[in-house]
Amino acid sequence: MDPLRLGSVRRSGILLHPTSLPGPDGIGDLGAGARDFAAFLCAAGQTAWQVLPLVPTGYGDSPYQGLSAFAGNPLLVSLDLLVQEGLLDEGEVAKRPDWPERSVDYGAVMAFKGRLLARAAARFFERASPDRRRDFVRFCAAHREWLPDFALFLSLKEQHGGAPWWSWEPEARGRNLAALATLEKELEPRIREHTFAQFAFFEQWSALRAFCRARDIALIGDLPLYLSLDSAEVWRSPDLFHLDASGAPTLVAGVPPDYFSATGQLWGNPLYRWPSLAHDGYRFFVERARAALAQVDVVRLDHFRGYQAYWAIPGGAATAIDGAWHEGPGASLFEALREALGPLPFVAENLGVITPEVEALRARFGLPGMAVLQFAFGNDPQGPSFRPHNYERACVAYSGTHDNDTVLGWWASAGGDSTRSADDVGREKAQALGYLAASGAQMNWTFIRALLASVAGTVVFPMQDVLGLGSEARMNRPGTAAGNWRFRIASSDLKPATAARLRELSELYGRASAASPPSSNR
């Protein structure tokens, strides 16, 4: 059952990916900083925390280009929690670089945390008690469908200097069984280390989820439609994707020209051979959804539009312009998901080129959609439906998403940052001021109040909008390959006054949690 009970319980929450949390190791993690943020949510009366995909990131550090569809990001493992377990010494962890406070240097973080995670793994296998060893064995058994392949994939990738799998020698690229058996023996130490890192991630995430549940905070996760070409699953099952004999994609994902780009967005993910997935009742996709729901309470289906029809771009194309619409799996996939999983606690990200057929698919399975207030006042064809007086109760409304500018960045923009002209921006701002009866001051709080007052069952604000940050705090710029996903907050941003302001508004509009905050944040 959908724990958000969309349409019957009024909730509000904050979008903040764990990499953006405060923390001592150059990136947010699942330790004290995550609990402090959950405590901030509780103090602010918020009962939802939305995150991006929790997978290990690959190209461009994007959580939408993961190295696996099932694994967790080892960079989120808290080193301090490993110290508490006796797997690292305080002196080792104390030798930290001088990290930037408000951004992530992924390369430096990977080198620092990777070294210490390997050390913690070695000590675990040397010192772990029988009970902890049994915990590890149970974990490996529970994840046996994907974990061995992922650990081998990552070890092979390291052996090849980080090169993508399609550039490996034929035996490894083509998964020759005899060759893989030899490689597994050769790489066994690194395979064990990567397996331990997954064990640590899943244990720490499970503990954080329990911490949030005790505070009536529902976790909203994110299931990307597509996988990265350079991922364990594409390497393991190339027959499920449009690839040629060398592993190069013949059709890739993206979207046609849109708000963000006049040439569309060329994502580059390989497209599924949907008939191949349908052959066994979409088992691969069912297991992806099952794994996501084991981590969070509700799953946002990224690019829901692609389930009905998707934009297919020839492999090697320079832009997304020359793509074409292809029919997606549609109702047959969701019937399989419902049969396997029961009621579907999904939110459909129904943004972009949305047709009546897309909305009919969403309605057929009772999936709440999304509304983005930033898109309500411009030229977006969906704009009218994004205005609060048109919201359905069973929807999730946002001030913006991880792909948007912040509200204050959007408000300060003069155009030229997307497909909007200067005249478009002028009309958009005039429309927003009139609709919201606003002066233009503190537009982030104007947006927050308007959403809280709406009939939408759940409303979510990126943390950047709660803090009133500008474009410098933007999480992602669609269509750009570098400089994204780096945003972080500092511990000093979690101010009691900010929490109190958000709680006051949330109480005013019937969204604040009635539960008293637990006394301990640990």
Q: What is the mean pLDDT of residues 82-102?
A: 94
- As a whole number of angstroms, the distance between CA 474 and CA 402 comes to 8
Q: Which two tokens stand for residue 284?
A: 């691969």
User: H-type helices in 374-421, by residue range?
Assistant: 407-412
CA atoms of 232 and 192, how far apart (whole Å): 16
Neighbouring residues of 290: CB distance < 8 A, sequence distance ≥ 6: 340, 341
Residue 183: which of 161, 148, 152 has the closest Cα? 152
Which 3-state string (H, E, C) describes 115-142?
HHHHHHHHHHHHHCCHHHHHHHHHHHHH
Q: Is the pLDDT of residue 198 over 70?
A: yes
Average pLDDT over residues 182-195: 98
10-25 tens-digit pLDDT: 999 999 999 999 999 9
Work out the percent of the chain whose per-residue pLDDT is above 90.
88
**Confidence at residue 59, expressed as pLDDT on a 0 to 100 scale:** 84
> Catalytic residue positions?
302, 349, 403
Q: How far apart are CA 254 and CA 263, in angstroms?
A: 11
Distance CA 267, CA 271 (A): 11
Answer for the pair 365, 385: CB distance below 8 angstroms, yes or no.
no
pLDDT value, residue 359 = 96
Question: How far apart are the C-alpha atoms of 413 and 390, rounded to whole Å?
Answer: 26
Q: What is the pLDDT of residues 340-356, one digit of tens each?
A: 999 999 999 998 889 99
The pLDDT, as a whole number, for residue 223 is 98
CA pair distance 128, 85, nearest whole angstrom: 10
Q: Is the four-CA dihedral 49, 53, 58, 62 of positive or negative sign?
A: negative
User: Can you tell me the distance from the alpha carbon of 1 to that of 380, in angstroms, rounded to the nearest whole number?
Assistant: 33
Q: What pLDDT was estimated at residue 272?
A: 98
The token pair that represents 217 in the structure block: 């905070």
- Which range is least confidently modeled, 40-49, 94-103, 115-124? 94-103
pLDDT for 414 equals 85
User: DSSP labels for 161-188?
Assistant: TT--GGGS-HHHHTT-HHHHHHHHHHTH
Convert the pLDDT of each residue in 374-417 to its tens digit. Answer: 999 988 888 999 999 999 999 999 999 999 999 999 999 987 66
Instruction: Summarize pLDDT for 459-491 with one digit per residue, the tens.
Output: 999 999 999 999 999 999 987 888 999 999 999
Strands 458-462 and 11-15: parallel
Mean pLDDT, the chain, whole residue set? 94
Residue 249 pLDDT > 70: yes
pTM: 0.95
Nearest CA-CA partner of 410 in 475, 478, 474: 474
Q: Where are the domains of the chain?
A: 72-219
Among the residue ranges 160-169, 260-269, 324-333, the one predicted with the least confidence is: 260-269
Write down the H helix ranges in 2-105: 32-43, 79-84, 90-94
